């Protein structure tokens, strides 16, 4: 729950949320309750991929897998939707994994008992999990988008796993007319921009190419230091990695950072 201090900190703050939907609207609701003026400009669109014979065959043989890993909450939801077409009851004996708490929570909502990193919400953090160290000849299903980082697949394969990648959706950069981008970047002029992936950040810089000088003044909230380095290389020097990506905790973390910035500049 937001503290009075946090509410005062966010009151009047202009925050741009670039998460895809429906995550953007959920986060905006939390920020608005804390007093922020929030605009949404999703920088990633997700489109479910049509079913293929390969996907159908993989899902029909789900009970042959030892481990199932989802890279995001959306990947977990899409996977469960597809599994539901073929398995009225979830097969037993599978260990489920979420890259972060949000992904694990999706699995828990469906009665599963997933593993997640003890700390953090990245592929690197999940790869530290004890049950993913020695995977010789164990079958792993990796639910993800059509394109994405290869770290999980490559590392698990190096550890002996027999990997099957299951692409369930494609991501793209949405189109916004110039009137929309001018309204956001020139008139609204966000104090804070929330861009929780490298792809989101790249798309933001592409869509807002004519306004990079103004974006450079904003606090860019990113998920990990790797993306912070990308932001700085793109000319966005004010980066911030929050304590958590969960909506309430992310909002409080941003509020705390803004409070500290005000003290430092006061």
Tens digit of each residue's pLDDT, the chain (266 residues): 444 444 457 888 999 999 999 899 999 999 999 999 999 999 999 999 998 999 999 999 999 999 999 998 899 999 999 999 889 889 888 999 998 888 898 999 989 999 888 777 788 889 989 999 989 989 999 999 988 778 889 999 999 999 999 999 999 999 999 999 999 999 999 999 999 999 999 999 999 999 999 999 999 999 988 899 999 999 999 999 998 888 998 999 999 898 887 777 76
Q: Which domains does the chain have, with CATH numbers?
A: 4-44+174-265 (3.40.50.10090), 47-171 (3.40.50.10090)
Asked whether 41 and 16 are in contact (CB, 8 A), the reply is yes
pLDDT of 3: 47
Give the closest residue to 3 by CA, choosing from 252, 266, 263.
252
Interior angle at CA 30, CA 15 and CA 4, nearest 5: 90
118-173 tens-digit pLDDT: 777 788 889 989 999 989 989 999 999 988 778 889 999 999 999 999 999 999 99
CB-side exposure of 179: number of CA atoms within 13 Å? 0
pLDDT of 8: 53
Q: Is 228 exposed, middle or buried (0-12, 13-18, 19+ CB in 10 A)?
A: buried
Measured CA distances, 119 to 9, 126, 194, 236 (Å):
27, 9, 21, 27
CB-side exposure of 1: number of CA atoms within 13 Å? 2
pLDDT of 246: 86
pLDDT of 182: 95
pLDDT of 100: 84
Question: Residue 254 — φ and ψ, nearest 5°?
Answer: -65, -45
Asked whether 79 and 65 are in contact (CB, 8 A), the reply is no
Strand order in the sheet with 95-98: 45-48, 162-172, 139-145, 67-70, 95-98
Asked whether 74 and 46 are in contact (CB, 8 A), the reply is yes
What is the rounded distance in angstroms from the CA atom of residue 30 to the CA atom of residue 248?
Answer: 6
**What does pTM read for this prediction?**
0.84
H/E run at residue 137: none
Give me the residue label for tokens 């861009």: 195
pLDDT of 266: 61
């Amino acid at each position: 729950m937001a503290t009075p201090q946090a509410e005062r900190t966010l009151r009047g703050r202009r925050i741009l949320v670039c998460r895809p939907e429906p995550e953007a609207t959920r986060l905006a609701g939390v920020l608005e309750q804390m007093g922020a003026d929030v605009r949404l400009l999703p920088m990633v669109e997700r489109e479910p991929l049509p079913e293929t014979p390969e996907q159908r065959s993989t899902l029909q043989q789900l009970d042959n897998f030892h481990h199932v890993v989802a890279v995001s909450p959306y990947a977990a939801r899409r996977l469960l939707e597809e599994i539901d077409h073929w398995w009225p009851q979830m097969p037993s004996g599978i260990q489920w994994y979420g890259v972060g708490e949000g992904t694990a929570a999706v699995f828990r909502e469906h009665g599963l008992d997933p593993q997640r990193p003890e700390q953090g919400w990245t592929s690197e953090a999940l790869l530290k999990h004890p049950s993913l160290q020695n995977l010789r000849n164990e079958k792993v299903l990796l639910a993800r988008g059509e394109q994405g980082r290869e770290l999980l697949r490559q590392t698990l394969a190096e550890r002996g796993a027999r990997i099957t990648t299951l692409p369930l959706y494609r991501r793209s950069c949405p189109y916004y007319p110039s009137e929309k981008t001018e309204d956001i970047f020139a008139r609204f002029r966000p104090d804070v921009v929330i861009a929780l992936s490298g792809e989101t950040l790249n798309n933001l810089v592409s869509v807002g190419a004519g306004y990079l000088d103004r974006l450079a003044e904003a606090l860019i909230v990113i998920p990990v230091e790797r993306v912070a380095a990308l932001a700085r290389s793109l000319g966005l020097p004010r980066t911030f990695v929050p304590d958590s990506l969960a909506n309430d905790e992310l909002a409080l973390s941003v509020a705390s950072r803004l409070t500290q910035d005000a003290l430092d500049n006061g």
